[in-house]
Structure 1
Amino acid sequence: MLSRLRHRLLAVASAAGLTGALLSFGAAPPADAAVPATIPLKITNNSARGDAVHIYNLGTSLTTGQQGWADENGTFHAWPAGGNPPTPAPDASIPGPAAGQTKTIRIPKLSGRIYFSYGQKLDFRLTTGGLVQPAVQNPSDPNRNILFNWSEYTLNDGGLWLNSTQVDMFSAPYTVGVQRADGGVTSAGQLKAGGYRGVFDALRAQPGWGGLIQTRPDGTVLRALAPLYGVETGALPASVMDDYINRVWQKYASTTLTVTPFGDRPDTKYFGRVSGNVMNFTNTSGAVVTSFQKPDASSVFGCHRLLDAPNDQVRGPISRTLCAGFNRSTLLSNPNQPDPSAANFYRDPVTNHYARIIHERMADGKAYAFAFDDVGNHESLVHDGNPAEARLTLAPLD
C-alpha cells in the first residue's frame, strides 16, 4: 500500500503534473542529458545516535512495473508472492552509516520510499496484493515501537523528485537534497534549531491535539500521527473541523468561490456555490463541471473520500485547491483560491494544527504536512532533471 503522496508523486512525475504548483515536476532534462539507470544516494548520519541505522529502498520499478526492493548497488529485486495471512518479506535492509559517517548507495528508476530505522530492522510483510507498509496507527503493527521514518522519491527519464514528508506522521528528522550536474546542491526538509522537540511540545500545548503523539512503553517519544489517523483512531474527534466546514458552506451559499487551479492557465477558472448540502462548480460558460458534498474531517485531512482528487483536468485540480484551503483555513478569508501567501495560512482557530506546527518549525517554512501541501509550492521537495547525486541526511532529535 502506497501513501497518498506516493501515488501523487508517481502520477505527477510521469504525467507532467496537474497544477501550476506541480508544473516543474514534468520539466524535461536538457537535450544533451540522459538520466542513467541508477544514481548515487549519499546518506549522512548526523543524528548523534549510537544505535545502528538500517536503510531500505522499496517501490515500483519504472522499467518493469514490478513492486520490489533495490540493494545498495541499485539492483532491483521483485518481491516474491505473498500470502494470506501475510508472509515475511525478504530482508531488504542495507546497513546504514554510523553516527558522524556517510555511506553512498545507488538508487534505480523507482517510484518508492527510502526508509531508515534506528536500532532495529523494520518488519515488512507480503500479502497476495503486494507489500504491507508499516501502519503504526494500528497498535498491533510490529513496527509500532521502532523509531523510523521515510522519504519518497521518483527517479525516471525526467529526473529526480525527492521529498521530506510528514503526510502520514512526523518522526525522526532528516533532510533531502540533490546535487546538480554543475555541482550546486538544493535541499529541503531542514527543521529550525530545536524544531523536532518543538513540534511535540506545541502539539501538547494545543488543546485536544496532544493525543497524536505516540511513545514507547518507556516513555520515549516516537512520532506524531497525522490528523487523518488521529481521527481514525479516536485521538482527534471526528467533529474537529466541523465548525470551519459549516462556516465555509454557509458563506458560499451566498458568495462565489473562485478557483484558478493552474498557475500557467490563469484564464481557466471554476466557480463554486453551495446549494443544499452540495457545492457545485461551473466553468466560464456556466455549465456544472463537478460537485462536492459537504466534507468531514477525514475527507479534509486525507484529501480523499468527499474531496477525492482524480488524475484529471477538472475535478482533481479543483479538489486539490479545496483540500489545501480547508487544511490551511483560507477559504473564509479569501474567496479566490488558492491563496498564495503563507502569511494567511492557519489563522483560524479551527485548522490543521499539525500542519501549522510543522510548517512553523521548518527552516524555510516548507513541508509536506498533508497530501496537497504542494499547492502554491509550499512543499519540501527537491527536483532536478539531470541529477548527479541524491542526498539523505539524518538529523539530530533535538
Structure 2
Amino acid sequence: MIERRLFLGGTALAAGVPLLGAAGWSASRARPASARTRTRNSGALPVSFTNDSGRYPDDEILLYIVGTDLTTDEHCWVDSDGTPHPVSEDDNTDDGYTDYSIPLDSVPDDMTLPFMSGRIYIALGGKLGIRIVADGDGNPALQLPSGWVEDEPGFDVLHDSVEFTHSEDGMFCNTTMVDQFSVPIGIELAGQEDHATGFFVPGGRDAVFETLAGDADFGDLVFDDLRVIAPGHGLGVGRFDGSYYDPYVDRVWEYYADTDLVVTTNAGTFTGRVEGDELVFDGGVAPIARPSTADVLFCDGALDAPNDGITGPVAAIVGAALNRSTLLDHSEQPTDDPDGFYLDEVTNRYAAVFHENTEDGKAYGFAFDDVEDFASYVQDHGPSAFAVTLTPF
C-alpha cells in the first residue's frame, strides 16, 4: 500500500515536495557512468548530465544544486566539485540574488553529489533568482524560484528541477510537475538495480502544452511555450477557478453519507462515513473536513497528511482519489487501475496529461501522485551513479 515519507523535512525551502514510488530500468538507455570517481565528500555519488534538448547548447545551460546538507542540517549550495557550502545572506550579490550556477559545459566528468536533500535546477538560456533570507529562527535559508510569479527574476527562463535525498540509506529521487512544468527531464539511477523514469514519449512536451492550452478549465495555466503552472498555483494568480472541485466534492460527500468508504493502508483497513462536513473514520484516524479546491490541488489543509502512520496514509489516499476522481466509482481505496483515473468531468486534467505522455506512465502531477506508485520516482539503497538527461523538446 502506501508509506508516507519526509522530503526536505525540517527545512525552510520554498517548495519541498514529498516523494514515494517505484520505476523500472529501460534496457534501451545508457547506464549512468560507473562509480569510478574519487571520493571527496561524505557519501559522494557520481552524477552526470546530458543535454539532448536540441534547443540550447551546453554553454547556455546552468545547473543549481541546492538544499539541506544532511551532515550539518544547514541549507547549502553545491559547487562543480560536488562540495556543499553553507548559504549566507552575504551570497546575495547578484542584484539581490545569489549566483550558485554551474555552467553545464564546465561540469567535470567526475562530479559527485554529497549527502544532502534538495533540488537540481536546470535553467536554459538565463539565470534563476535564488535568494538567501533569514528563517523564523534567524538562520540563512534558501528562497527558491516560483515559476508561477510573473515578476520574479528568471520567470522568462525555461527551467525545471529534479528532487532528491541522498543519505546513508540510499538515493531517493524524482522528477516533478507538482509546481510547474517547462523542461522534459529523465533520470536514471544505478545501484543494486538499474532504474529510469521521467522520460517523455516523442512529442510529449508539445502534447502537454497543446492539450492544456485547449482546455476550457486549464488553458489559462499555459504561459506560451514557456511553462505550464500547476492549478493550485493558478488559484493564487487568478488563472484557475477556486470552486472547480466543489461539485465533485459535494457528490462525494452526499454519496458517503450513506455508503462506507473503506481505505486500506500498511497500518490496516479503516472505514469512514460522512457526518456533516467531516469524513469520519474508525481506528483513530483524524476526521477529514470537507476539502476546498485548494485543499485537493495542494493536498493540504483538510487533506494534510501527517507522518503518523495512521491519519497521514488515509488522507493521502483520499487526496489521490479526489485528484484522480475515483471516489464515486470505487468505495474501496486505493485503486491501482490507471484506466479508471481522470474520467470524471471534474478531475485533475493537469496531472492526467503528464501520465499520458511519459514512457512509463508515471509523473508527479500532484503531491499524492505516489499513491499506488504512479509518481516518477526511483530509489536505491546501494546507489553507484545518478544521471540526469534533458530530453528532446
TM, length-normalised to structure 1:
0.84
Q: Does 1:323 align with 2:319?
A: yes
SS in structure 1 of the partner of residue 228 of structure 2:
strand
Residue 54 (structure 1) aligned to one of 62, 75, 80? 62
SS in structure 2 of the partner of residue 202 of structure 1:
helix
Unaligned runs of 5+ in 1: 1-6, 13-20, 25-33, 216-220
Asked if the contact 1:83–1:128 (Cα under 8 Å) also holds between the matched residues in 2, the reply is no
Structure-2 change in CA distance of 1:345 and 1:159 (3 Å): same
SS in structure 2 of the partner of residue 269 of structure 1:
strand
SS in structure 2 of the partner of residue 346 of structure 1:
coil
Asked if the contact 2:67–2:142 (Cα under 8 Å) also holds between the matched residues in 1, the reply is no
Displacement of 1:10? 4.2
Matched residue, 1:240: 244
Q: Does 1:66 align with 2:70?
A: no
Displacement of 1:97? 3.7
Residue 125 (structure 2) aligned to one of 96, 119, 131? 119
Structure-2 change in CA distance of 1:23 and 1:139 (3 Å): closer
Root-mean-square deviation (CA, aligned residues, Å) is 2.6
Percent of aligned pairs sharing the same letter = 35
Which of structure 1's runs of 4+ aligned residues deviate more than 4 A?
21-24, 101-104
Aligned-partner Cα distance in 1 for 2:201–2:187:
15
- CA distances 1:326-364 after superposition (whole Å, capped 9, x unpaired): 000011100011112111111111100001111111111
Count of aligned residue pairs for this structure pair: 357
Matched residue, 1:349: 345
Which residues in structure 2 correspond to 1:18-167 (within 5 Å)?
A: 37-51=43-57, 52-81=60-89, 88-97=96-105, 105-129=111-135, 130-167=141-178
Which residues in structure 2 correspond to 1:121-270 (within 5 Å)?
A: 121-129=127-135, 130-180=141-191, 185-215=194-224, 221-262=225-266, 265=267, 268-270=268-270
Q: Does 1:339 align with 2:335?
A: yes
Structure-2 change in CA distance of 1:279 and 1:104 (3 Å): same
Aligned-partner Cα distance in 2 for 1:121–1:143:
6
SS in structure 2 of the partner of residue 190 of structure 1:
coil
- CA distances 1:143-186 after superposition (whole Å, capped 9, x unpaired): 211111100000001110111111111111110111225xx631
Asked if the contact 1:45–1:395 (Cα under 8 Å) also holds between the matched residues in 2, the reply is yes
Residue 379 (structure 1) aligned to one of 363, 375, 378? 375
Structure-2 change in CA distance of 1:173 and 1:244 (3 Å): same
TM, length-normalised to structure 2:
0.85
- CA distances 1:242-269 after superposition (whole Å, capped 9, x unpaired): 111110000000001011122xx5xx11
- CA distances 1:186-219 after superposition (whole Å, capped 9, x unpaired): 110011111100001110222221100113xxxx
Unaligned runs of 5+ in 2: 11-19, 24-38, 136-140
Displacement of 1:8? 3.5
Structure-2 change in CA distance of 1:22 and 1:269 (3 Å): farther
Asked if the contact 1:68–1:78 (Cα under 8 Å) also holds between the matched residues in 2, the reply is yes
